[in-house]
Amino acid sequence: MSYDLERLQSLTEVPTIAADRTKHFEEQISYDDVLLVPQFSDLKSRNEANIHSDLDSRRMLEIPIIASPMDTVSESEMAAAMSDNGGLAVIHRYNTIEQQAKLVHNAVTLTSGNGLVAAAIGASGDFYERAQELVASYAQVLCIDVAHGHHILMKEAIEKLKKRFGNEIHLMAGNVATLEGFNDLADWGADSIRCNIGGGSICSTRIQTGHGVPGLTTIFDCARSTRNAKIIADGGLKNSGDIVKALAAGADFVMLGSLLSGTTETPGELLTYADGSKRKSYRGMASRKAQEAWRGRSGTPEGIATTVHYKGPVENVLTDLCGGIRSGLSYSGSRTIKELQAKAQFIKQTSSGQQESSTHILKR
């Protein structure tokens, strides 16, 4: 038997440990670690704050909020309601092509708002056929929805879809956790990019894999990009204050799962308990339950399934969130999101500062 010694050696060669592998040991931050410093304001009412945000040169959202592509958040009703309220929902892809195309079609007939409906696809398997059907059903935004988006399959998928649809379709992609990932996806052709890995409320990716970057650090990092792609701060946002921080750090949009979960427009039945309380299901798409419901089996889960309090119509939730965002702009003396980004002054807070920032009488 003869051996290719050179090849064998290359296979057993241990890569040299990079000298700078601890270069990221400086402090990384998430939403609760910082506050925005109030600044002089000449806004006489928070309604003077304009919170619109452009998806691209042809598509504008009146509110910077996008609903997550999850099977307990976004189907036809949520897509229509988000569109009616000036936002956007991404209809999830955990179904057959026909079922998803129907959900998109129904949403576009239901909505009397901006008419914008987005739909998710993967980066392998049937993604190309799915994309064509969704566009034929009037989806104007396609979201390549992959947990680790800085990936060769993402590059191939974006290039194939750009070649097919050009600028006719807005191409959203992700998720990424770094500036390098953001720049690569933008260079491959993504128009907007979902930023944050492992920060979602139902996410166990960091526990399962040891990988991720605190959410706000990712936004600050990606905001250093010179590319034109839009930044979507995705996951881990707990209240309108976090949304204001994400926008101030450089995000053009936020993507919300848990904050919109439990509303009337989410899929799934309303569960009524013996004490009269009402709840709805909310689950990660990589949870065991979601995977089993989708394809009859589960790999290693990277998410959990739970229930949340029923919140009523999503419009009420959006009204509260947008009121908070407008007030946030006013506290920084800003009339637009761009102005907020230019003026924002972040400070770090200590753990006692974090306590003081909460409604602490409840903890006494």
Could you list the active site residues? 203, 205
Among 86, 149, 181, 200, binds ligand IMP (CB under 6 A): 200
What is each CA distance from 217 to 169, 178, 212, 290, 348, in whole angstroms? Answer: 30, 9, 11, 29, 13
Q: How far apart are CA 197 and CA 303, in angstroms?
A: 12
Site string for ligand IMP, 86-115 (x = CB under 6 A): ------------------------------
Whose Cβ is closer to ligand IMP: residue 85's or residue 201's? 201
Residue 200 C-beta: closest distance to ligand IMP, Å = 3
169 counts as binding ligand IMP under rule CB under 6 A: no
Among 79, 107, 139, 202, binds ligand IMP (CB under 6 A): 202
Site for ligand IMP in 257-316 (CB under 6 A): 257-258, 284-287, 302-303
> Which residue shows structure tokens 């042809």?
58
Residue 91 · residue 106 · CB < 8 Å: no
Residue 330 · residue 49 · CB < 8 Å: yes
Residue 304 C-beta: closest distance to ligand IMP, Å = 7
- Alpha carbon dihedral 217, 51, 68, 145, in 10-degree steps, equals -70
Size of the site for ligand IMP (CB under 6 A): 22
Angle subtended by helix axes 240-249 and 215-222, to nearest 10:
30
Site for ligand IMP in 229-268 (CB under 6 A): 234-237, 255-258
String of DSSP letters for 51-93: --EESSSS-EESSSEEE-S-TTT-SHHHHHHHHHTT-EEEE--
Q: How far apart are CA 329 and CA 342, in angstroms?
A: 11
Part of the chain binding ligand IMP (CB under 6 A), chosen from 24-32, 96-104, 201-209, 339-347: 201-209
Residue 285 C-beta: closest distance to ligand IMP, Å = 4
Residue 144 C-beta: closest distance to ligand IMP, Å = 13
68 counts as binding ligand IMP under rule CB under 6 A: yes
Residue 265 · residue 81 · CB < 8 Å: yes
Whose Cβ is closer to ligand IMP: residue 61's or residue 286's? 286
Among 53, 192, 205, 218, binds ligand IMP (CB under 6 A): 205
Q: For residue 49, what are its two tokens?
A: 């704050």
Residue 300 C-beta: closest distance to ligand IMP, Å = 11
Three-class secondary structure of residue 123 per DSSP = coil
Task: Provide the binding-site residues for ligand IMP, judged by CB under 6 A.
Answer: 68, 70, 175, 200-203, 205, 234-237, 255-258, 284-287, 302-303
